[in-house]
Structure formats: structure tokens, C-alpha cells
Structure 1
Amino acid sequence: MRTPELTDEALVLDDLSVSRGRGADAVRAVDGMTASLPFGEALCVSGPTGSGKSSLAIALTGERDHSTRIVGGGATVCGIDAAHPGRARSVLTFRVGYMAQDAGVTFDPDLTIGEIIARPVAARDRRVNLRQLEVRVSALLDEVRLPLGAASKFPHELSAGMRQRVALARALVLDPRLLVADEPLAGIDVEVRHVVRDAILRRREEWGMAAFVITNDASFAAEIDADRMVLSNGCVTAVQPAGGEPLATPGASSDLAFLRGATPEA
């Protein structure tokens, strides 16, 4: 298979629609979203629970999730058609690092933290140099401010916030061109939330990684200098360029609260 070439944009969404659920229970989670994200830039998506944010994130990653699928429009992710990746799916999952919402809860309890972080590499190359992989895991643990001894521990021995930082390390282990992070600050203590910010900023500056982040945290979006969008009932209702003024669609002025970091009252 010829490896698809990277495009100028890490992400191009053209009237994208995403379905969540199966059969009669399927719903339109995202409806007609259009956006683009150049390499080296960041985009934060906000919105209420159930607005389609997590479904959107899953649809862009190439993960095999039969309950979430692209049903309309287009999504080109790191040069690959995310709706129909075919044999290029392995390339897509290599170029995209995915940090799922509450990822730490899904860790295999029988794997050590070191094995969890290394798994994306080991799954692709069974002949990987184990010493080099160990060094790579150690470097990532240090970057997310976890002790090197954490590599030999099991998930239940770490706090929820520490597991969240392990999930970030795992998402970055393949040096992705695009990071898709769903609520990356969940459970992380205020004192160490800077490790998420610094990891994103360093990779953006040094090798042009793009970041697509699901978060309602306006201050974090500002810290990573991100453009912002608000999803409500699967539709984009408000946008704000990094450092610019927010703009809402008619009748959706209440959604501007998400751009300010406040949740509108029901």
C-alpha cells in the first residue's frame, strides 16, 4: 500500500455528520460541521453534555467503534479519508494520538503502567528494541511529572489524575501529527495541569503537531492559543478565533457562555 501523503491541513471537515448508536437507537450526534485545523495550530470544541463532542472525536481517530460512524460529508485527517480509510487505517491511527474521555478507567488492569504506555508501539512492531522503548516510556513519564517507578505499577495503584497523565503519555508515544484529546484535564490537579499545556505547546512549536481538544475550560483554550467552537445538539452554534471576538449563530447567544468558561443555566 502506498502511504498517503500529508496535506497542508491536519484536519478538514466538510459538512460532516456523525451518527452514534445502532439500528433504531442511532442518533445524529454531529450534523453538518465544517472546520479546518492547520498543522501547528489548536482547536478546542466546547458544549453541553450530549452535544456530540466525544462522538466527533472518536470519528476522527480511525478507532474501530461500530457505534460511532461518519454518515455524511467528509473528514480528511492527516491526509486520510476518515470515513473510508480502508488499508490506510493503520496510518491514520499512527498519525493521530487519541486520548479518550476518562481513558484511565479503561486501562487493562493486568498491564503495568509502562506496558500501557508502550502498547501502541509494541502492537505495531513486535521486533521493537525493548531498551529504546523503555527509554521512551521513561522520558514520557518524566514529561507528565510521574515518577519513573510508576512504570512498574498497575492502574489501581495510581490516582485518577495520575492515570489521566498516563493516558496523555500513551497518546503521545508515537509522536503523532495530530493529538485528539477528549477532556484531557479531567481529574488532574490544578498544580500539574500545566503538563498537558506544555506537552501540547512544545510539540506544536518543535514539529508542528496539531491539537484537537474537547474542553469547556476557557482558560486552558487560551493557554494553548486555540481557536474555539461550541457544539449544541450536534451543530456548531458559536466560534471564536484565538485572541478574537466570539460569534454566535442567531438564537444561540447563550452558548457564548461556553467560550467564557461558564455553563449556561438550563
Structure 2
Amino acid sequence: MTKGDTAADSIVCSDLSIAHTDGRGAPARVIDGVSFTLGRGAALILVGSTGSGKSTLAAALAGRAGNGVSVVGGDALVEGISVRRPGRRHRFLTVAVGYLGQTDGPSLPARLTVSEIVGEPVTSRHRKVDMRALALRIATLLDELGLPLGAAGKYPYELSAGMRQRVAIARTLMLDPRLVIADEPLANLDVEAREVVRAALERRQRENEMSLLLVANEAESVARFDADVLALRAGHAVGFGHGIEKMTWTPSSEADRRLVSS
């Protein structure tokens, strides 16, 4: 059993600072000294205005920050793995954590079918795949997310924006991750589809102790989940609490209160 399998908490973030660099100047901090803990099977929602750093923080914790983004202070243990120095365990991190980026739904691979897209986390990691079992797994996920089984053979251009978003979510859940980090998972979804997605995520919390770290921009999205809320402004944590009605704010955060209470 690996260290990540025995982590008591999904995320332990300790004074974490993250910077962007273009390679020509000094790194610019986008996250500065953020600390929080996400317990096993719990949910946390990151909120904040555009440019607050929440998407960068989510991507970094999922091990998908990309080039030009680095941890410059503190650390975070995600499923027991340091995001500052993951080393060889980076591969395990990307299996244990299902990640949905902000543009994953709109930017699905145009030349792949829905079935190929959803199954990619399996087919990209294993040379030999039981295609019958994989097809059944894909069909189950599509059905759970309210997508018709006939969608499996379609291409992204044949789907609505809401259907593409749910395909991206299905791909995120393909490996039964212990933790899902999702940036605006309810984007482009109508009211009915939002409830289907919320129910699917919360079902995994109850049954599998899957943890959730979500990024949201609107109070409605926050209210749909029974979750702690961490508010960011300019890379700093300025508010925290369980649900938007029970948040404690720093003294200068009046504008941020309005962001999540509207």
C-alpha cells in the first residue's frame, strides 16, 4: 500500500505560495500563504473574483499546473503526496486525483468519439484493456450523468455545450478517484443537469469517501453543495466557513462578501 492510500486527509495545504513566471522576469505570486485542510470525504469550494488565483491553486493541487507555474513557498500534501516535490509519485497523484479544468468541456478532442474521450484515462495508461468491460464502464458513467447511451459514438461537435461538459466530467470520474478537483463543474449546465452532476458527486462522497475541491464563481453553485467555502482575493485567503452564511471574513473583505451572497 502506498503512502497516498493511507492519507487521513485528502489535502493538507500549509502556507502554500505559487508563482507564475514567463522566464524573463521575477516570478509573480498568484497564491500567497494559503493554508487549509480538506478531510477525507469532505467538500471545499474555492470562490473569488477573476484573477484571485483559485484556478491556479486548483490546477497546482491536482498536479496539472503546467509550465511556468511553480510552488515557491510552503507545501501541500495531496493524497499524501507533496505537490512541491512529487518526484516519481506525480503519476500516482494524477490517478488518485480526478481533475476537471475550466476549459475541459469546451475543448474536448474534436477527432475522438465520446467513448474514446471518456475511456482515455484507462487506454492511455494500459497497453492491454478489456474493451467490453471498458465499454460497460463508459455506458454506466454516461447514464449516471444523464447522457443518452447513443452519445458514446458521437463527436464533440455533435453535442450541446452542456453535454460536452458532462462528457468531461465522466472522463474525470473514469478512474474512481479518491479526490476530484473541478474548476466550474456546473458551467454550461441547465438546472436539471446541474442536479444530476451534483447528485453523482455527492453519491461518491457518501459511498466511496471521495473528497471534493470545487472552484465556483456564483453563489448558486456554492449553495448546491454541503461544503466549506474558502474565499480568495489577489492570492490571499480572506474568508472561510461552512456554507456562505457561516463565513468568517478578514476586516477588509466587504466586496468579497457580496461576491458569495448575491
| SS state at 1:120 partner | helix
Aligned CA distance change for structure 1 residues 88 and 124 (closer, same or farther; 3 Å)? same
Pairwise CA RMSD of aligned residues?
1.5
**Structure 1: 4+ residue segments shifted above 4 A:** none
| SS state at 2:59 partner | helix
Pairing of 1:39-188 with structure 2 (within 5 A): 39-63=40-64, 65-188=66-189
Deviations 1:102-125 (A, max 9, x none): 212322111111100100111111
AA in 2 matched with 1:166: V
Deviations 1:62-103 (A, max 9, x none): 226112221110110011111111111111001000011021
| SS state at 1:117 partner | helix
Report how far residue 190 of structure 1 moved.
1.7
Partner of 2:39: 38
**Length-normalised TM-score, structure 2:** 0.95
Partner of 2:7: 7
Report how far residue 256 of structure 1 moved.
1.2
Of stretches 20-29 and 54-63 in structure 1, the one that deviates more from structure 2 is 20-29
Counterpart Cα distance in 2 of 1:120 and 1:25? 36
* Percent of residue pairs bearing the same amino acid type: 44
Counterpart Cα distance in 2 of 1:190 and 1:57? 25
Partner of 2:233: 232
| SS state at 1:40 partner | coil
Deviations 1:140-191 (A, max 9, x none): 1001111111111111111111111111100000000000000011111122
| SS state at 1:134 partner | helix
Of stretches 100-109 and 126-135 in structure 1, the one that deviates more from structure 2 is 100-109
AA in 2 matched with 1:3: T
8 Å contact from structure 2 (residues 147, 163) kept in 1:
yes
| SS state at 1:201 partner | helix
8 Å contact from structure 1 (residues 144, 195) kept in 2:
yes
Gaps of 5+ in 1: none
8 Å contact from structure 1 (residues 246, 259) kept in 2:
no
8 Å contact from structure 1 (residues 4, 88) kept in 2:
no
**Length-normalised TM-score, structure 1:** 0.93
AA in 2 matched with 1:82: V
AA in 2 matched with 1:88: R
8 Å contact from structure 1 (residues 225, 243) kept in 2:
no
AA in 2 matched with 1:247: T
Counterpart Cα distance in 1 of 2:152 and 2:70? 35
Partner of 1:205: 206
Of stretches 138-147 and 249-258 in structure 1, the one that deviates more from structure 2 is 249-258
8 Å contact from structure 1 (residues 17, 71) kept in 2:
yes
Counterpart Cα distance in 2 of 1:230 and 1:151? 38
AA in 2 matched with 1:253: E
8 Å contact from structure 1 (residues 102, 164) kept in 2:
no
AA in 2 matched with 1:174: L
8 Å contact from structure 2 (residues 105, 168) kept in 1:
yes
Partner of 1:19: 19
Counterpart Cα distance in 2 of 1:244 and 1:8? 28
Aligned residue pair count: 260
Deviations 1:11-48 (A, max 9, x none): 01000011124222742111100000001110001000
